[in-house]
Structures are given as C-alpha cells and as structure tokens.
Amino acid sequence: MTEQAPEATPATVSEATQQAGEAQSAVGVRARWDWVEPEVWTERMLTALEQGVKGGKWFRLIDKVYAMRTLRQAFARVQANRGAAGVDHVTVEEFERDLEANLEKLSQELAEERYRPQAVRRVWIPKPGSQEKRPLGIPTVRDRVVQAALRAVLEPIFERDFAAQSYGFRPKRGCKDALRRVDHLLKQDQSWVVDADLKSYFDTIPRADLLARIQTKIADGRVLRLVEAFLRQGVLEEMNLWTPEAGTPQGAVISPLLSNIYLDALDHAM
C-alpha cells in the first residue's frame, strides 16, 4: 500500500452539538459493555453505540478525552501497569505526588490543542523463544495517561465491529478463549490452519491508511489530530532522536488498538 494523505480533514465540532442517539437508553446495555469505562461511556452513549449513530461516525469525542474523570481513570490504569519513566525521567510515583495539578494541566492542554507528545524512549528486550531482541518504546507517564484516556474513548467504537474470531489485544479475550474456539472447531472436523507471521507489524503499519480507516468511524478532527500526533512521536534511542516514517510505537498504550483497527479488514476477509 502507498501512503496517501486523507482527502479531507474532518472539521472540529462544537461541544454543544449532540451525537445522534445519545438521548436514548436501553435496559441491559451496561451489562453487555461492562468492560468500558463508566466515567466515559454513559448508558445513553452505549445505547447510541449499539443502535448505530447517524452516518456511522462519531463527531463529538475530544471533550470525553480531556474530561478530568476520564484522565483520573486513565492514570489509575497507568499506575496499575507501573512501568519505567520516559525521556523526562518522571516516574509514576512522582507524577502522582501532584496528581490533580498534573491532570488539570493535561486537560487544559488537550482542550486548547496545546498538548504535544514527547519522544518515546526506546530500549531492546529479549524476544521469547529467540536470540533476537525486539524494540520496546517507553512513553512518558503524561503521554501514557493521555493515551489511556484516548483508548478508553475510542476502543468501544471499533470493538463493536471487530471480527468475532479476533482475540489479540481485545477486552475480555485472550489466548485461552482462542484455544477453546480452536478446540470447538477441531471437534467439528474443521482442521485447516493458516499460519502466518507479520514481521515487524507494529513498526510497518502505513499511517495514512490507518488514519483513513479510523476516519470511517471518527469525524472529530481534534481526536484524529491527537492520534496522528502519537503516530508521529519521535524516538530517543541511545541519545539519538529520530522520527519513524511508518508504524505505531511499540509499548504505547494506544498501539494495540490501532494495530487491530488496521488488521480488522484482513480478519474479516479470512
């Protein structure tokens, strides 16, 4: 595939605009989406998600990303995952010492479109079952918080239509679920297997094509620009700063979701 810029830039929509279907509600919606962040996804939003929104696109989302309740929950997830400090040397513990002020600053920067991701610190870690090593990106804590907030907003929108047989990097799914499905199919005498490995998949995803696929469901220009900013983050490796021309950063909170969005067409085709 060749990288081509999307033909049109989605407009920034007024926060006062209501998404079609938001005012509706349905019994049992919350139970079916019990893994989503309730701080972000209200029952009326979930009802709109299930019923489908006008034009198939969501256009008012950035206010959900920078809401303090979303950022607080995002930090809780980052804190639970721990992880090392990024290029700014700020640890999770240090960020937490002045948590409310740090989150308020992020919220204001996101609301005013002044937020800029910092470079990702790249390290190399052993690759299981091999003598090779694979790259791992370590974003700053502040960037991990914003990415966690962004993922909390975007993931349900794309999760709704992901292929049923897809199990990687998805909520409430894992290897054991995939194995149970394989066992079920084998017992039905379905024994054909396609074994394929996408080499350096995260590092080689065409960005323009990925953004175009995101735009099929997201029409909030500020959210799209935020996603693109993360895709274009610099990488600091042994004092060398460079910017990858393709891919989504290994180790980034948002990368597993973005990788599934790009691969979804293949999942359905298979």
**Per-residue confidence of the chain (270 residues) as pLDDT tens digits?**
434 444 444 444 444 334 444 433 455 677 889 999 888 898 889 989 999 898 899 988 999 999 999 999 999 999 999 899 999 999 999 999 999 999 999 999 999 999 999 999 988 888 887 888 888 889 999 999 999 999 999 999 999 999 988 999 999 999 999 999 999 999 999 989 888 888 889 889 999 999 999 999 999 999 999 999 999 999 998 888 988 889 888 889 999 999 999 999 999 998
Residue found by looking up tokens 């929104």 in the block: 53
pLDDT at 163: 92
Cα(61)–Cα(22) distance, integer angstroms: 12
Q: What is the pTM of this model?
A: 0.85
Which tokens go with 161? 């239509």
**Treating both helix axes as pointing N-terminal to C-terminal, what angle do 221-231 and 207-214 enclose, rounded to 10 degrees?**
150
Q: What is the pLDDT of residue 69?
A: 96
| Structural tokens at position 146 | 């914003």
Q: Name the residue type at position 223.
A: V
For residue 209, the Cα-to-chain-centroid distance in whole angstroms is 16
pLDDT at 167: 92
Q: What is the per-residue pLDDT for 123? A: 87
H-helix or E-strand spanning residue 137: strand 133-138
Q: At 123, is the secondary structure helix, strand, or coil?
A: strand
The answer for residues whose C-beta is within 8 angstroms of residue 20's C-beta and 6 or more apart is 48, 53, 54
What residues are paired with 135 via a beta bridge? 124
Alpha carbons within 13 A on the beta-carbon side of 188: 8
* Cβ–Cβ < 8 Å for 73, 38: no
pLDDT score of 28: 67
Q: How many CB atoms lie within 10 A of CB 43?
A: 16
Comparing CA positions, the residue from 254, 198, 210, 204 lying closest to residue 230 is 254
Mark 187-197 as b/e (b = at least 16 C-beta within 10 Å).
eeeeeeeeeee
Residue 97 makes CB contacts below 8 A (sequence gap 6+) with: none
- Pairing assessment for the beta strands 235-237 and 240-242 based on DSSP bridges: antiparallel
